[in-house]
């Protein structure tokens, strides 16, 4: 199986590569459209700021390519947020795969949300053998609103969509590569989709 991690200069991808390596898969980094299109599974990572990440995607024309992909794509953290319609972070337009807006947490709670929180209302094979209310590791200041495309929810200030799915596109707000056994199970499930 060929797993490609989309490389557009955003953040730390080493941990994702290592997580797949622990599962016995090699995940290669690439920004080459042909290599990305030929992959069996695609990871769309992201750490950092949304509007500058969108700029990097446009510069490499990956913003056009990504929504046309037909194989399973997993957006992680900012990667998931960039697959949404818009984000309040830097007032950026997203790739529009998910029909949902990304908002900032209210300052009634500490921002960023940092640490382990539970996922509930699990609705996809992505969560096979993962218990409801499993803890996942999250670090974020912005969240996708609860919507029809939510396949998991988390409660922090509000109940929001901590995972999304539309057709072959999946997104998780948490970091499966850093979420201990439950996270590893999720990555394993993704390889089996």
Partner 1 sequence: MLAKRIIPCLDIKNGRTVKGVNFVGLRDAGDPVSLAKKYAALGADELVLLDISATLEGRKTMLDMVLKVAEQVNIPFTVGGGISSIEDVDALLKSGADKVSINSSAIKRPELINELANKFGNQCITVAIDAKQIDGSWIVHVAGGSIPTTLDLFSWAKEAEERGAGEILFTSMNNDGTKNGFANEALSKLSTTLNIPIIASGGAGNMAHFVDAFHVGKADAALAASVFHFGEIEIKDLKQELKDNNIEVRL
Based on CB atoms, which residue is closest to partner 1, 156 or 169? 156
- Does 49 contact partner 1 by CB under 8 A? yes
Q: Where are the alpha helices (DSSP H) in 23-169?
A: 33-38, 50-59, 62-65, 78-82
Q: Please give the distance of CA 97 from its chain centroid, rounded to a whole number.
A: 12
Beta carbon of residue 99, minimum distance to partner 1 (angstroms, whole number): 26
Name which position in 135, 146, 159, 193 contacts partner 1 (CB under 8 A).
Answer: 135
Biggest alpha carbon distance in the chain?
46
- Does 24 contact partner 1 by CB under 8 A? no
Residue 140 known to be catalytic: no
* Whether the Cβ atoms of residue 79 and residue 7 lie closer than 8 Å to each other: no
169 vs 149: CA distance, rounded Å? 10
The region that residue 52 occupies, defined by phi over 0 for left and psi between -120 and 50 for alpha, beta otherwise, is alpha
Query: Which is the catalytic residue, given 49, 177, 184, 192?
Result: 177
- Does 12 contact partner 1 by CB under 8 A? yes
Query: Which is the catalytic residue, given 77, 89, 140, 149?
Result: 77
| Among the residue ranges 35-43, 61-69, 131-139, 159-167, the one whose residues contact partner 1 (CB under 8 A) | 131-139
104 vs 88: CA distance, rounded Å? 7
- Does 116 contact partner 1 by CB under 8 A? yes
Based on CB atoms, which residue is closest to partner 1, 63 or 89? 89
Beta-bridged to residue 76, according to DSSP, are 172
Residue 84 known to be catalytic: no
Give which of 119, 191, 189, 193 is closest to 160, Cα–Cα.
119
Beta carbon of residue 10, minimum distance to partner 1 (angstroms, whole number): 10
Name which position in 30, 31, 86, 118 contacts partner 1 (CB under 8 A).
Answer: 118
Q: Please give the distance of CA 143 from its chain centroid, rounded to a whole number.
A: 12
> Which residues are catalytic, by number?
77, 175, 177
Interface residues toward partner 1, by CB under 8 A: 11-12, 14-15, 18-19, 21-22, 47-49, 107, 110-118, 135, 137, 139-141, 155-156, 175, 177-181, 183-184
């Amino acid at each position: 199986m060929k797993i490609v991690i989309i490389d557009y200069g955003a953040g730390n991808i080493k941990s994702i590569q290592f997580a797949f390596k622990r599962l016995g898969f090699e995940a290669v980094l690439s920004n080459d459209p042909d290599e990305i299109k030929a992959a069996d599974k695609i990871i769309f990572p992201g750490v950092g700021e949304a509007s500058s990440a969108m700029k990097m995607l446009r510069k490499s024309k990956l913003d056009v390519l990504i929504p046309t992909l037909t194989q399973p794509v997993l957006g992680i953290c900012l990667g998931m947020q960039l697959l949404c319609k818009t984000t309040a972070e830097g007032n950026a337009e997203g790739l529009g795969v998910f029909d949902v807006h990304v908002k900032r947490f209210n300052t009634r709670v500490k921002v960023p949300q940092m640490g382990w929180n539970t996922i509930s209302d699990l609705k996809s094979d992505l969560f096979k053998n993962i218990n409801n209310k499993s803890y996942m590791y999250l670090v974020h200041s912005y969240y996708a609103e609860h919507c029809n495309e939510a396949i998991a929810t988390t409660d922090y200030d509000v109940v929001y969509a901590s995972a999304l799915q539309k057709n072959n596109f999946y997104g998780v707000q948490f970091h499966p590569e850093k979420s201990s056994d439950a996270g590893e199970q999720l990555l394993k499930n993704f390889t089996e989709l």
